[in-house]
Each structure stands twice: as structure tokens, then as C-alpha cells.
Chains A and B, each alone.
Chain A
Amino acid sequence: MAVTAKPPRKVAGTVLRVVVLVVLGFYFILPLVAMGEFSTRGINNTRSLDSWTGIFEDPDLVDSIVTSVELAVLSSVLMLVLLVPTMAWIRLRLPRMRRVVEFLCLLPLTIPAIVLVVGMAPLYAWVNYFLGDSPLTLTFVYAVLVLPFAYRAIDAGLAAIDLKTLAEAARSLGASWGTVLWRIVVPNIRTALIGASLLSVALVLGEFTIASLLNFETLQVQVNLIGKRNAGLSIAVSLACLVFAFVLLFLLSYVGQRRRVTVVED
């Protein structure tokens, strides 16, 4: 009976969805599978994990991994410390400045990395003079570099709550501005903050141009160097890096959900 059969349009929709999923899945997974295949090739068509174990035997590579992870964390923290109070304050007290700050935050997106470096180089001469030439000084550029993405994420988070009323309620109960920020704003835009941090981490872990041109040995710079002498190792590191980013994504979204559930059960 026609009554029980699915309408043809619905069937067509399902088919289309599956096709899109398969095609896109293939498109995204294939390079990863190929990287896995390539990095586990041994001599005479055998399989070998030499490239993967090699990651931990290369001290330069291990150093650069540590550096990049440190940079990712520091840049995220600096970005949050700069952006969250600024954006909250603008929404609460200086709404007229919003366009200006949004423009400033989106600016790094429009400036090519190479141009940034040309501008940064003389600045970094001073940074290095005062703070030493640790690659961690890249934190300053990276914090700027992640602004456009972080701004969008945090802005969406702030727009989702009635910040003005919540802040005024807290103020009338005796909260200082610091308390408002820490106890009211941050917990209520936590998901947005996690999102912003995640984007920052991903961006910093993948950044090559600026680090390379300013002569700092970050993970991507090392991967590029290693690629010139040991393709298997460089592919293994790249794949590990991607998988790490996926795991991070999964963990962070999981943490976000978990926290929410525990709070409800309190």
C-alpha cells in the first residue's frame, strides 16, 4: 500500500545523504590511510614501524614537539586572557567600540603570513633582545594570529547569554568586576572558550611559515626538515600530529559535555 511505503522524495533524500557522506568520507580518509600505509612500509614490501618508533629517537624532533605543545598552550592562554575580559567589557560598557575591536581582531586573517613576518622581524629583534631567543617568544605572534578564530567563537558564546542582566545581577549582589568575569562570564561561555582554545591549538600546531621565516624550530619546521632526508619519518610525524588534533577535539568536546552533566547532577 502506498500508505506504508516511504514517499519517493524521502528515499531520494536518504540516498543523497549516504552518497555525500561516502564521497566526503573517502575524500578525507583516503590521504590519511595513504599516509599510514606509506609510513609503515618496510624493505622488500614488508610492514615496519621503524618510522613511528623513530619519532622518539630523534632528539631534535622530540624537542620541537615539546616546543609546539608549549606554544599551543601559551598562545591559547594569552589569547583567552586578552580576549575574554576585553570582549565582555566591550559588550557591557563600550558597545560602540565593538565594530572597531571586531575589525582589529579579524585583521590578521587578511594579512598574508609573509607580510606579517616582514613587519614582525624588526619587532622580534627587540623581543629576542629582552626575552632571549627562545621559540616560546612566538607566543606573541601566535596569540595575534588566532584572534580572528577565537573572536568569532567567543563572540557567539557571549551573544548566547544575557550578559548585561547577569552582570548587573551579580554586581547588585556584591560582586566585583573580577568576580563577575570569573564566576559568571567564564562558566557560562565555557563551551565557547573550549572551542576558541581548540582552534588556537590546532592553528599553532599547524603553523609553519612564520616559525620558519623567524628561524624557530617548531614541530612543522622540523617535519619539513626531516622530510628532506627521511620521508617515512616526516609522514609518520604528520599523521601523528593530525591524529593528536582529532583526539584533542574529541577529548575537549567530551570534557565540555561531561562537565555539564556533572553540574546538573550536583
Chain B
Amino acid sequence: MGYLELKGLRKSFGGAPALDGLDLDLTEGELVSLLGPSGCGKTTALRIVAGFETADTGHVVVAGKDITSVPANRRDMGMVFQAYSLFPNMTAAQNIEFGLRLRKASGSERGKRVDELLELVGLGEFGGRFPHQMSGGQQQRVALARALAIQPRVLLLDEPLSALDAKVRVNLRDEIRRIQTELGMTTLFVTHDQEEALAVSDRVGVMSQGKLEQLDTPAVVYREPASAFVAQFVGVTNAVLGKAESGAVRLGTFTLPTDAAADLADGSDVKLIVRPEDIGIVEHKGESNGSLLGSVLTQSFLGPVTRLVIRLDGDEQTIRVDQPSNIAAAYPPGTAVALDFAASRFMVVQA
């Protein structure tokens, strides 16, 4: 039994389903991300936990207590929003203090807590600043401190980084993870940025059309996606069209034997899903020896690796292959290459 449990949540807006029976368990102190494209229901799920939306059916349980019908202001959920949400008429310190005042904490207690929290988010000197005197990143830090001030039972993060610059975003996301681990705060983090989700989460829940497609550690979600959707949403992936043929996938003249194709009807259209870093490459000279052939179309340098886009021979399809940059330099555009799937992890799905 988890600390925060979402049980069979369903919600539709004007007939369009946003959540279609969502079940999710968070153990205490765990950070779980909900990841998915916009409209997949992740924000709706978070808002139902916060109490801003009511589920059509289903329950939200915290520490064994059903809070489905508890109003938002009595749920003790700390929330950080996507939009800047600091109260413009209050200083950073007054913002952080707000929840404590409502809980009738004494002046000295409030002062002490505000100082602690400003220190925690690295803004010790900023207590007297108004929101308009702070940068976006600083505002979100204060918003985090404000949410933590009430010692919430669960911390809810609704894409808190998406309005920030790339650099600030990475810093703050690591900061959030550090603070969350330090406090052992059970956290539900909603994001559409897969890199963000993979980087900070204990577990990642990938959502599509109101349902969880997969819920597992970042490494498992990345390495062993449960579905074609997860594979294609998390990380960069190739989806090459081919045909199933007696326990193998056929791409032009190339045949890739695989157990994954065993259940598929011969001649049916399939997609071969494989990550760019999982494909080997050798320069191709002379005769075809049954490997998948193509020629390098473009190269993009990404720092440690270089991504080669390769056009398959006798086919308009392209495939992306990542190689260490020093190796990729040997394959300028136009080079004929043979692709090697020997060490690859791949999936085969019905197209």
C-alpha cells in the first residue's frame, strides 16, 4: 500500500475523457514523475490530487485516508505551478509565511521557518524582495519554499520549470531533487520534458490518453519500454517500416530474425523500433553480405556523440544512428555504410 494512492481516477471534460481509469501508488519519500504529451491527462491527475478538480469516479488516498471529498484548502498539499504564482502584493518572505499565518503559527516561529526555507532554496538575502524584483528562477524557488513551508504531506509540481531558460531549468531541477531527497518529501512531478523526468525521478509514469502506459524506474522506462508509444515518447528512437516474414522482419532485401516477429502474421506491416545509439555502423565496400545498407545523408554534431542520418538503399526511409563523435568523423555525407543490429535492443510492433 502506497503513501499516496490514486485509485481508478476517471474524469472527462464535456464528454472528452481526460483520465481513463488511472491507478498510481507512491511510497513515502518517493519522487514520481508523470510524463506525457499535452492532453494526456497528467495535469488533470495532479489537479485532482490537489483538489482543484473533482474526479468523476475514483479515489485519492493519502496515508490510508480517503481525501477524495476534502476541499483543496484542507488537504495539506504543497503545490508549485507552471505559471508564476507568487502573490504580487507580498514579499518573498510574506509569500512563504502565508500558509503559516493561516495555520496561526506564532511570529517567531514563522520568522525562523521563513529564514530556514529561504536558506534551503538558496535565497537567504531575498526575503524582502517582491516577485517583480526577482527573476523567473528565483520566483519559482520562492514558490517551492512557500509550498514546503506548510510541511505538506505531498508536494505537487505542475511543470514548474517549463517557463524558465534552459540553463536555469537544469540547475533548478537538480536543486528540487536535492531538496526533495533531503526532506524525504513524497512528490508528484508533472512534466512533458522526458529529459527532466528521467533525470530527477525515482520512478517515471508515462501517460497517454488518460492512462499509464508504463510506470518504472527511469532506466527501465528508457531501456525496456513497455510499448511503442513509450519507446517513441521517451528518448529519440527510430521507427522503420517493414514486413513480418516467418519470424523475422524484412526491410527491403535485409532480413532481421527476431522472436518479436514470431507472433505476427507473414506479410503484415510492422515497425522496427530501435534507438540511434543501439545501431552499429561499418563502411560498406563491395558486395552485399545480407546486411542493411544505406548512405550517410547528414551529420549533426551533438558534442560527445554525432548523429548520422542514413538513407536506406532502395527505400526512401531514413534512420538515425548515434556514434561517438571521433568515430562518426570517418563517415562524411555520401559514405556508403552497412548497419549492424547485432548488439541492438529493438521492438517490433504492428504498424
Contact = CB atoms under 8 A, between A and B. Distances in A.
A156 B73 CA distance: 28
B72 A171 contact: yes
Q: Which of B83, B87, B89 has the most CB of A within 10 A?
A: B89
Interface of A: 161-162, 165-166, 168-176, 179, 183-184, 187-188, 190, 263-264, 266
B79 interface: yes
A162 B91 CA distance: 17
Contact of B147 (A172, A179, A190): A172
A174 B104 CA distance: 11
A244 B146 CA distance: 45
Contacts of A179: 102
Contacts of B85: 162, 165-166, 168-169
Given A172-B147, A173-B98, A175-B102, A166 B87 contact: yes
Interface in B86-123: 86-89, 91, 98-99, 102-103
A178 to B, nearest CB: 11
Nearest to A264: B130
Nearest to B149: A173
B257 interface: no
Contacts of B84: 162, 165
Contacts of B338: none
A168 B102 contact: no
Contacts of B98: 170, 173, 175, 183
Given A168-B81, A169-B81, A184 B87 contact: yes
28 contacts: A162-B84, A166-B87, A168-B81, A169-B87, A169-B143, A169-B146, A170-B98, A171-B51, A171-B52, A171-B72, A171-B73, A172-B72, A172-B73, A172-B77, A172-B78, A173-B99, A173-B102, A173-B146, A173-B147, A174-B73, A174-B102, A174-B150, A175-B102, A179-B102, A184-B89, A188-B87, A188-B89, A266-B91
B174 to A, nearest CB: 24
Nearest to B129: A264
Interface string B138-176: 000001001100100000100000000000000000000
Interface residues of B, number: 31
A144 B67 CA distance: 42
Given A170-B98, A174-B73, 6 more contacts: A162-B83, A169-B79, A171-B51, A172-B51, A172-B79, A172-B147
A174 B89 contact: no
B74 interface: yes
Contacts of B103: 174
B128 interface: yes
B71 to A, nearest CB: 8
Contacts of A166: 85, 87
Contacts of B128: 266
Nearest to B128: A266
Contacts of A183: 98
Interface string B26-61: 000000000000000000000000111000000000
